[in-house]
Amino acid sequence: MIKTYTGSCHCGAVAFECDLDLERGTSRCNCSFCRKARFWMAVVKADSFRLRKGEDSLCDYQHVPSGKSAPFLHLTFCKRCGVRPFTKGGFLPALGSEFYAVNLGCLDDVTEAELASAPVNYVDGQKGDFAPIQGETRHL
């Protein structure tokens, strides 16, 4: 069921809302960045995400993956508290649009029960194909 959630960084300088269905699944990635940041995300189409405040408080880190010529992701952080409430991504054929990866830890009105029941998909971003990981995933 699609629900509108509100979210923010730690200090509240950045606020957003998004329409997402946690029952459709969430993701944990093993790429070098997500693994180090312990980023647990839900992906939404660009038109399901609304930045409500704090665009001027965001810092944008762009990593160019090995073998690529340009960044695909805009890893945004609050300049004041350092929290990454979301990441903006480029066009994904599977979605038919640009997307946002929302940090589930930054959702202000999600319940513990909703998070506990949300399926988690472990993806292999380390290899750049985002295929589901087979085998051990407890470290993610």
Residue 136 domain flag = no
* Domain that includes residue 99, residue range: 3-121
Q: What is the pLDDT of residues 9-66, one digit of tens each?
A: 999 999 999 999 999 999 998 888 888 899 999 999 999 999 999 999 999 999 776 6
Query: Which among 7-21, 66-80, 110-124 has the top mean pLDDT?
Result: 7-21
Number of domains in the chain: 1
Residue 79 domain flag = yes
The b/e string for 109-120 (b: 16+ C-beta within 10 A; e otherwise) is ebeeeeeeebee
Residue 58, domain CATH: 2.170.150.70
Residue 7 domain flag = yes
Kindly tell me if the per-residue pLDDT of 140 is higher than 70.
Answer: no
Residue 16 domain flag = yes
pTM: 0.89
